[in-house]
Structure 1
Amino acid sequence: MTPPSRAVIIFCKVNGIDYTERKVDISKREHLTPAFAEINPMKQLPAIVDGNFKLFESHSILIYLACAFPGVADHWYPADHFKRSKIHSVLYWHHSNLCRAAADEAEKFLVSSLSEIESFWLKGDWPFLLGGNQPSIADLSLVCELIQLKVIGSIQESSAVD
């Protein structure tokens, strides 16, 4: 399972959002079929269907789920626009840095990105990115990516992963 798909599933489970998981076998190129292209024209995972609404890109999905489903705790995607802006910064940084580092297997770039996480995003005494005791969708998205990088051996030691 891809880290972005994992983040969406974890978010749904943690927040009690009822969903039906449809497994798409990438090895069989099921994501390239015309049927899947109806859901996601980019033919990538994850993608969701909620009634007649179709959405792709994990960060867009996480934001949608946080806003569309009552009962999702505010810490995931706070109403406060300053906190939301910080979440957006992490999400955009994530796609510009960690995803590129993993795809290109650029170890030097990955080390630099991990250093940025440690020195900028995780500075202070708080366990989460926004300086609080509760995670946001930015924390969830980032941790799924970091766990994947650790599992495949791209990360040896980093306080960002711990």
Structure 2
Amino acid sequence: MELKVYVDRLSQPSRAIVIFCKVNKIDFEEVGIELLKGQQLTPEFKEINPMGKVPAIVVDGKFKLFESHAILIFLASAFPGVADHWYPADLYRRAEIHSILDWHHSNLRHSSTGFIQNTLLAPLFGRPLNPQAAAEAEKVLSSSLSKIEALWLKESGQFLLGSNQPSIADLCLVCEIMQLEFADETDRNRILGPHKKIQQWIEDTKSATKPHFDEVHQTLFAAKVKLQMQRK
């Protein structure tokens, strides 16, 4: 199976796809799409994803798929070498993972993206910063982190749903939270500081996917340093 993965490693869901492929030894070609240059809006890329967003994949030159959750479910199902804990065969566990992924889009993802965009990144895309929108996003983000701790990070396991091994839901949500690395240390500590379970879960996910987690996030860390220098 020939797999092309179209990503920008500054994108949270893009990083989740790349890490998943590397951890599971899936052979793939990574095709970089630079969001800041608008490459996702070119006619060539829109033939792959008409929505003009990353990530997207092309399989065997003909099957095209976008939306990160759908991609991860496909990869976990299509490649027999993927360990069961990522996307369990048990239908009840799968349903629980789907529930978390559906919740993710309208809660954690929406709020984390809104906060980072409106405190830091909006000018890079030609938009003004919006402190009011950032404050509203932070409220939803903090509430989302509390819900993750209360509902899914159980004492019986290191990962979501009380599991001792990560699922695709763990990878998606942790990569989302890692976008807070862009934030000032004061903001990041204010948001993450009260959530000790979240902090430990992030470290456990890093450990379970090493060395690929840190390697894939190097692009994010480098961009953070560059942004800090520009702001000074």
Range into which the TM-score falls when normalised by the shorter chain: over 0.9
User: What are the equivalent positions in structure 2 for 1:57-76 lying under 5 Å apart?
Assistant: 57-76=67-86
TM-score (norm 2): 0.67
Q: Which of 186, 199, 204 is matched with 1:161 structurally? A: 199
- Are positions 1:41 and 2:79 aligned together? no
Question: C-alpha separation between the residues in 2 aligned to 1:62 and 1:88?
Answer: 11
> 1:133 Cα shift?
1.1
Equivalent residue, structure 1, for 2:36: 27
Question: C-alpha separation between the residues in 1 aligned to 2:173 and 2:162?
Answer: 15
Equivalent residue, structure 2, for 1:101: 111
51-60 or 100-109, which moves further after superposition? 100-109
Q: Deviations over 1:94-146 (max 9, x none)?
A: 10101111233211111111100111110223101121211100011011011
Equivalent residue, structure 2, for 1:2: 11
- Are positions 1:83 and 2:114 aligned together? no
- Are positions 1:144 and 2:175 aligned together? yes
Question: C-alpha separation between the residues in 1 aligned to 2:18 and 2:178?
Answer: 15
Equivalent residue, structure 2, for 1:125: 156
> 1:150 Cα shift?
4.0
Question: C-alpha separation between the residues in 1 aligned to 2:155 and 2:21?
Answer: 29
TM-score (norm 1): 0.95
Query: Which 4+ runs in 1 deviate beyond 4 A?
Result: none
Calculate the aligned-residue CA RMSD, in Å: 1.3
Letter in 2 for 1:134: Q
Question: C-alpha separation between the residues in 2 aligned to 1:53 and 1:143?
Answer: 28
Question: C-alpha separation between the residues in 2 aligned to 1:65 and 1:152?
Answer: 32
97-106 or 107-116, which moves further after superposition? 97-106
Question: C-alpha separation between the residues in 2 aligned to 1:54 and 1:99?
Answer: 24
Contact 1:146 1:161 in 2 (8 A): no
Which structure is higher in helix share?
2
Instruction: Mark the structure with the bigger radius of gyration.
Output: 2
Contact 2:154 2:161 in 1 (8 A): no
Question: C-alpha separation between the residues in 2 aligned to 1:103 and 1:23?
Answer: 21
Contact 2:112 2:177 in 1 (8 A): no
Equivalent residue, structure 2, for 1:18: 27
Contact 2:16 2:172 in 1 (8 A): yes
Contact 1:127 1:133 in 2 (8 A): yes
> 1:31 Cα shift?
0.3
Contact 1:122 1:128 in 2 (8 A): yes
